[in-house]
Structure 1
Amino acid sequence: MNPEIESLYVGLVSHLRNRLESEAFLKRHRQREKDFTRQRCLPFVFVVLLLINMMKRSLQDELDEFYKALSQEKVASRQVSKSAFSQARQKLKASAFVELNEEQVKYFYEHFAPKRWHGFRLTAIDGTLLDVPDNEATRREFGVWGSRHDGKGSPKARVSQLFDVLNEVTINAQIAPKKCGERRLACRHLAFCGINDFVLLDRGYPAFWLFAAIRHRQAHFCARLDGTQWDVAQAFIQSGELEREIVLTPSAAALKTCKSYNLPTQALTLRLVRVELPSGEIEVLITSLLDTAAFPAALFQALYHQRWPVEEDYKRLQSRFEIENWSGTSVTAVYQDFHATIFTKNFAAILVQPAQPVVSHLHRSAKHAYKVNMTNLISKLKDTLLFLFWDHTISPLLHALWQQMIRTTEPIRPHRNSVRHKKVKRRRFPLNYKPTR
């Protein structure tokens, strides 16, 4: 690997390690002033490392393997009980992982050369629901979704992310009770948007006040309008026009919401673009990009399709990272696991950046383009993360990971359309039946 690129990654790991080991970081993210003050078998750094190491097996097994890895023993021995870990994690705020993620994302955009679209950082906002452990505390915190079968329902958390679709990096992630709507979470993400950002939105998001919030941040957007709910979309479809500039004025409800968020209430000059799908269905896109010469209508079908990686990222979170396979049952555990997983996922996405061009070059004569197998990389990061953030031999570990990435690839088969089944049985992760490996 190029020495300059290697030094960037060594710098990233060193920066995160220094932050993690600093006294100020510990003080910011412990629950009480007296927490993590005594020398114990589970110091602050160890608790953080355990949680970013993708704890999906039985808790005691994870703890035994953690100390086995650090001490380089052949057989795992009992150093810490699961009860001790459960008590230690209650002293740690989930904000520790939020800060670590913000630091690595900031480092990535400041020191690396991220991909852009026409000079914009191309992002998408999307959300989903996650099953959380079912107990009284989680039901109070997150709320319950009803069931047609027993009427009892189950607690679910609403999650959302601002996702860089070209670099597959989560810029900001939110987890909240179900009563917190997707648009409200989207508005929280906008604190991380600026003048060179472009936001893609699915048809559940469009609202005057959200458009106003994006433009207030001097960012741009493209969203899909639901033709059954927007009069301007219906009229545009019936007109047969390819594109049209419109002036969108706020309704009384939109004015009220704008004022509650201290947003400007002036009418917005926007642009509608017609997209005809191969199936014959007509989509209406609305965008703040008004320059038809720089951004012709022909660009927008492919542009809107660029939001698909955020959908794939949720699939990766749920199936590869097993994010719903929580390492604990408490509300604290849910927040910790969620933000720790986002950190680890982003670290993997940043780590793969220099390997992908090598893979593309090696397979340049193949029938299909090839990419790094992310599932394999995620598997290889298990325990390797511990050594990266604890050991002093960063470069050899990075080289070993990059070699694995270059050797383990998969073809990209474009234009594959599978039937999207809306009713898919969700995989469950019973807390009493954890896997052994």
Structure 2
Amino acid sequence: MQLKEFSVISSAIESGTVLKALETAIHAQAITQAIADTDSNEERKRGLPTHLVICLVIAMSLWSKASMRTVLKNLVDGLSEVWITVGQYWRVPSKSSITEARQRVGCRVMSRLFHLVVRPCATAQTPGAFLGGLRLMALDGTVFDVPDTVTNARVFGYPATRPGTVAAFPKVRLVLLIEAGTHLIVDALMCPYRIGERARAKKLLRSVQKGMLLMWDRGLDSYKMVQATLKQKCDYLGRIPKNVKFTVEKVLPDGSYLSWIAPDGKSKKKGGTKIRVRVIEYTIDTDAQGQTYRLITSLTDIECFPALLLATEYHRRWEVESTIDELKVHLLGRKTLIRSLNPREVVQEIYGWLLGHWAIRSLMFQVAESAEISPLRLSFTGTLNIVRRAVPKFQGLQIDEFPFFSPGS
């Protein structure tokens, strides 16, 4: 038997073909629009066109422990099977070619794609997503290591250490706004380690609006935070540090009371005035002494929002911690989460990471809605494994052969 001769091809690989399995989460049209919006079209035909590089950066989070060439092989595995049947072979680009392609594409297109696709998705039927008609949102931040290179260290910086010691890795700070009932990340900002969470968190208020209830921890609380949230016509429920004192203006029947928060010096110079707040104090018996919590909120209607209900719902803020765990442990699972050696590629990779999480959580939400259950009951790791298998399998299917859904629907 004579071996069949194979011809090496440079096939045009479309993003819609590569990510068919994720089409309902990240539309091919959105990738095309992001490329157009950022003028990221290549001037000549390339082996790694922009749309394929975008798919590759997203896929880096799906196969986080694999090398870049292996990720690319996994990404086009279904297409490769089709080519082999007709005696064609797509030569996987070298590591240096992949690096050059990522540098050419940059990070702006990934940022634009992220903001084009992410949005709150929960409906009134989504269990636990709303409280009294208000969409539950949570805000928090985290830090993570990036490779210890000169450029990464200069841009992102190291955390403070004891005199005579140096931190092992530079760190990037990431602040997230999530929809508590779905774990969907609806906005995110990253910055060097030296910039605090509060400054970034306040900028994320661009994505909150009327009809939402925003929850934050005591590390993010400030007069400016409350003022900026109210400016967006969004309600809030936040924890207060121990050192903040309140004057009791009026005690309400449910045990909470009305008070005021005064502007800080800078806000006062800009015309800031005191803001009326409702304070809720309660103790959780975790040990012999118990732990006391103090919350402030803009919700003053004790009939619709009694103190016990708000105290109970506040602990849904921990859904953002679970989301961070999904990102840092279950999705990536690397000792050093980011692999890129230069700041621009670090930012690019983080947006690919966020888009990978969005794709998985979006698919989980769609499945949960059809089954009329909470998306938080589904396994994130299990869905990730399914997506890994589905990406190549869907590449060989036609639209009318899709077993569960139609792309673009």
Of 54, 76, 80, the residue aligned with 1:48 is 54
Partner of residue 173, structure 1:
188
Confirm or deny: 8 A CA contact 1:63 1:81 kept in the other structure.
no
Aligned length: 368
Give me the whole-angstrom Cα distance separating, in 1, the residues matched to 2:120 and 2:279: 36
After superposition, the Cα gap between the structure-2 partners of 1:327 and 1:297, relative to the gap in structure 1 and judged at 3 Å, is: same
Confirm or deny: 8 A CA contact 1:161 1:172 kept in the other structure.
yes
SS of equivalent to 2:341: coil
Partner of residue 105, structure 1:
118
Residue 206 of structure 2 corresponds to residue 159 of structure 1 = no
Of 295, 314, 319, the residue aligned with 1:304 is 314
Residue identity opposite 1:346 in structure 2: W
Larger RCO, structure (CA 8 Å, separation 6 or more)? 2
Give me the whole-angstrom Cα distance separating, in 2, the residues matched to 1:297 and 1:392: 54
Confirm or deny: 8 A CA contact 2:259 2:279 kept in the other structure.
yes
Residue 231 of structure 2 corresponds to residue 216 of structure 1 = yes
Confirm or deny: 8 A CA contact 1:209 1:255 kept in the other structure.
no
Alpha-carbon distance, 1:11 to partner: 11
Of 201, 221, 230, the residue aligned with 1:206 is 221
SS of equivalent to 1:333: helix
After superposition, the Cα gap between the structure-2 partners of 1:265 and 1:309, relative to the gap in structure 1 and judged at 3 Å, is: same
Alpha-carbon distance, 1:42 to partner: 0.3
Give me the whole-angstrom Cα distance separating, in 2, the residues matched to 1:44 and 1:391: 24
SS of equivalent to 1:266: coil
After TM superposition, the structure 1 = structure 2 runs for residues 2-401 of structure 1, keeping only pairs within 5 Å, are 13=24, 16-22=27-33, 25-29=34-38, 36-53=42-59, 54=61, 55-56=63-64, 57-72=66-81, 78-106=91-119, 108=121, 115-148=129-162, 151-153=165-167, 154-227=169-242, 229-232=243-246, 242-255=255-268, 259=270, 265-279=272-286, 280-322=290-332, 324-356=336-368, 371-382=377-388, 384-385=390-391, 392-393=398-399, 396=402, 398=404
Give me the whole-angstrom Cα distance separating, in 2, the residues matched to 1:130 and 1:392: 41
Confirm or deny: 8 A CA contact 2:205 2:229 kept in the other structure.
yes
Identity of aligned pairs, percent?
A: 21
Confirm or deny: 8 A CA contact 2:246 2:260 kept in the other structure.
no
Give me the whole-angstrom Cα distance separating, in 1, the residues matched to 2:257 and 2:359: 42
Q: Deviations over 1:72-99 (max 9, x none)?
A: 2689974211111100111223232333
Residue identity opposite 1:230 in structure 2: V
Q: Which runs of 5+ in 1 are unaligned?
A: 1-8, 362-368, 401-437
Q: Deviations over 1:202-258 (max 9, x none)?
A: 01011111100000111011111111x20228x89xxxx9311012221314435xx
Q: Which runs of 5+ in 2 are unaligned?
A: 1-19
After TM superposition, the structure 1 = structure 2 runs for residues 414-425 of structure 1, keeping only pairs within 5 Å, are none
SS of equivalent to 1:152: coil
Give me the whole-angstrom Cα distance separating, in 1, the residues matched to 2:21 and 2:68: 31
Q: Deviations over 1:105-130 (max 9, x none)?
A: 34847x99654221112101100111
After superposition, the Cα gap between the structure-2 partners of 1:182 and 1:370, relative to the gap in structure 1 and judged at 3 Å, is: closer
Confirm or deny: 8 A CA contact 1:360 1:370 kept in the other structure.
no
Give the TM-score, by structure 2 length. Answer: 0.80
Give me the whole-angstrom Cα distance separating, in 1, the residues matched to 2:69 and 2:79: 16
Give me the whole-angstrom Cα distance separating, in 1, the residues matched to 2:195 and 2:400: 41
Which sits farther off after the overlay, 72-81 or 155-164? 72-81
Q: Deviations over 1:175-194 (max 9, x none)?
A: 11012211111111111111
Residue identity opposite 1:18 in structure 2: Q
Give the TM-score, by structure 1 length. Answer: 0.75
